[in-house]
Amino acid sequence: MKTIIKNCKLVSPGIEAENVSIVIENDKIKTVHDGKECGTEKFDKVVDGTGLTAVPGFIDIHCHGSNGADVMDCTPDAIGKIAKAKIEDGVTSFCPTTLTASQSDLVKAAVAVKTYEKKQMYARSLGLHLEGPFVNPKFKGAQNPKYIRKPNINEVKEIDGITKVAIVSFAPEMEGGLDLVRELKKLNIVSSCAHSGATFAEFIAAKECGLKQLTHFCNQMSHLHHRELGLVGAGLLDDKIMVEIICDYIHLSANMLKLIFKNKTLDTIMLITDSMSATSLKDENYKLGKLDVVVKDSVARLSSNGAIAGSTLRYFVGLKNIHETTGLKLKDIIRTTSLNQAQSLGLQNLGKIERGYIADIVLLDKKFVPQNVFVSGKMVK
């Protein structure tokens, strides 16, 4: 199968070019050339990209749900429904993300993800993101306190034996936390700090053991203080730690987003949605796992205490917000939507529009809304 996307604008990490054509052969990008250089090649599919911008497919590594479905529904249909909704947002790969729950429910979620992965009809699953259950109760946020427990590598191994675990988000300062970081490193699973009250010293200790990321940066973590940097200060000071950011102006204000982009290098920032089931739907009552959530003015909060409960952010809106807020060029910030995530997960040939890379491509209009989406060279929108 050979496809050509003609006459589009191209934006890939560090590259911006007008009037470009992209040739796709099977699942890979074969060539990228001037839009007028089509030659005599024959194509099975020709896509006119006039007026559109081609960018690498977005990678959302933190996603609980969308369009009425939640990963903790624990059904293949729910995972498929989320994956289909993600395609509409320009997300070509994602990490279905769990919540603090019983081990039996986490196993059920893993089985559901594995069943979806055998078909992969829409966005590609890159493996589970376990958010919790090994979190600090004082920073639980919208995590269910009933199921919070001490770090246990055997629970992770059981789930990883069903389907790949890509990321575990937890509080490394809890008893056994550093041992968990070490064990996850052995399994090539990314350790990320979440729902944590770790001090700066505890952050350093965890990083020395292999901690790589900070989950939904600034939210439900120890704050910056002039005598104790905490995790927020650690994220701003450390030039290697990766940070997830939710660019919805709710989890992070516009000025905080500016501060992050001013102090962090662009290769350490990863845009996420932390989306929950209400994403793309109207304001009303929903569930986040087994917890009741009220969505008002597109802000999701727990019914019980008003804590923010994930987001209703659509991925392309987050990119648009960053572009408008920071004033940075799209060719520079586009790595925060795909390439950084791929590199963090140790994935090759994802996150760029270049020869030899997997043909995950999104065509955006001038308002950043996805018009066409390609996954492994197949146009799925």
* H runs (alpha helix) in 151-215: 153-160, 177-186, 200-209
pLDDT on residue 38: 62
- Copy the structure tokens of residue 318: 């987050």
- List C-alpha distances in Å: 70 to 266, 300, 301: 31, 14, 16
Question: What are the beta bridge partners of residue 168?
Answer: 130, 191
- Structural domains in the chain (count): 2
Which is nearest to 238 in space by CA: 285, 181, 198, 180? 198
Considering the domain architecture, whether residues 88 and 168 belong to the same structural domain is answered as yes
Considering the domain architecture, whether residues 361 and 245 belong to the same structural domain is answered as no
Whether 274 is catalytic is: yes
Question: Catalytic: which of 60, 73, 274, 360?
Answer: 274
DSSP state of 127: -
CA atoms of 23 and 340, how far apart (whole Å): 24
Considering the domain architecture, whether residues 88 and 111 belong to the same structural domain is answered as yes
- Contact between 27 and 359 (Cβ < 8 Å): yes
pLDDT on residue 138: 97
Considering the domain architecture, whether residues 245 and 287 belong to the same structural domain is answered as yes
Residue pLDDT tens, the chain, 381 long: 999 999 999 999 999 999 999 999 999 999 999 876 666 678 999 999 999 999 999 999 999 999 999 999 999 999 999 999 999 999 999 999 999 999 999 999 999 999 999 989 999 999 999 999 999 999 999 999 999 999 999 999 999 999 999 999 999 999 999 999 999 999 999 999 999 999 999 999 999 999 999 999 999 999 999 999 999 999 999 999 999 999 999 999 999 999 999 999 999 999 999 999 999 999 999 999 889 999 999 999 999 999 999 999 999 999 999 999 999 999 999 999 999 999 999 999 999 999 999 999 999 999 999 999 999 999 999
Considering the domain architecture, whether residues 36 and 174 belong to the same structural domain is answered as no
Considering the domain architecture, whether residues 254 and 359 belong to the same structural domain is answered as no
Return the SS3 of 138: helix
CA atoms of 361 and 175, how far apart (whole Å): 43
Considering the domain architecture, whether residues 130 and 192 belong to the same structural domain is answered as yes
The domain that holds 141 is classified in CATH as: 3.20.20.140
DSSP state of 73: G
Considering the domain architecture, whether residues 43 and 122 belong to the same structural domain is answered as no
CA atoms of 192 and 87, how far apart (whole Å): 26
The domain that holds 30 is classified in CATH as: 2.30.40.10
pLDDT on residue 36: 63
Considering the domain architecture, whether residues 93 and 107 belong to the same structural domain is answered as yes
Considering the domain architecture, whether residues 131 and 178 belong to the same structural domain is answered as yes
Considering the domain architecture, whether residues 131 and 234 belong to the same structural domain is answered as yes
For 207, the domain range is 58-344
pLDDT on residue 195: 98
Considering the domain architecture, whether residues 76 and 209 belong to the same structural domain is answered as yes
